[in-house]
């Protein structure tokens, strides 16, 4: 199950402190899971409670408890993708969030956020594969690059 979030939808205030971040993340996750059929009501309710606790002191552990419960109950893996993460990359609250992701030993498999876990990426592109990607880019942006030469350089 994929939950695709965008940090541009979160405001500066959502990163002000841990409680605000928990509230903001729960709010954004809630928006994304509304149409999903296979999210248990208990998880929906838990995230809604976190959303309703705006202004209250809520530790990030409560968000992780809810997410861990969801992972445990789900028949499929849960993947949370966050776009525009660079908008929060230097924010201490977000760094704390990442640290807790890294320390969650129950879910250490194949995670790009966890430097302890192996993360397997297929890098078996051929020069022709790269050429196709560059051609798509060239078609969109008209840079004038020598696609063949650039694909050979990238492949090497």
Same domain? 7 vs 58: yes
What's the CA gap between 156 and 60, in Å, rounded?
A: 45
Is 31 contained in some domain? yes
Q: Classify 2 as helix, strand or coil.
A: strand
Report the domain count for the chain. 2
Q: Which residue from 38, 64, 84 is spatially nearest to 47, judged by alpha carbons?
A: 64
- Tell me: do 96 and 135 sit in the same domain: no
Q: What confidence tens digit (pLDDT) does each residue in 61-106 have?
A: 999 999 999 999 998 888 888 888 777 766 788 888 887 876 665 5
If asked whether residues 54 and 131 sit together in one domain, one would say no
Residue 76 included in any domain: yes
β 79-83/2-6 pair status: parallel
pTM higher than 0.85 for the full model? no
Residue 18: both structure tokens together: 């841990």
Domain that holds residue 34: 2-107
**C-beta separation of 74 from 42 below 8 A:** no
């Amino acid at each position: 199950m994929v939950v695709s979030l965008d940090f541009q939808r979160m405001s500066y205030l959502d990163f002000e402190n841990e409680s605000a971040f928990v509230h903001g993340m729960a709010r954004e996750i809630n928006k994304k899971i509304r149409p999903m059929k296979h999210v248990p009501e208990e998880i929906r309710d838990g995230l809604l409670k976190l959303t309703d606790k705006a202004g209250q002191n809520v530790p990030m552990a409560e968000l992780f408890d809810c997410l861990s419960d969801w992972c445990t109950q789900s028949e499929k893996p849960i993947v949370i993708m966050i776009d525009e993460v660079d908008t929060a990359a230097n924010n201490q609250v977000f760094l704390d969030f990442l640290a807790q992701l890294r320390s969650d030993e129950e879910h250490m498999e194949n995670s790009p956020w966890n430097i302890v876990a192996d993360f397997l990426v297929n890098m078996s592109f051929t020069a022709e594969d790269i050429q196709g990607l560059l051609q798509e880019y060239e078609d969109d942006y008209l840079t004038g690059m020598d696609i063949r030469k650039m694909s050979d350089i990238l492949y090497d």
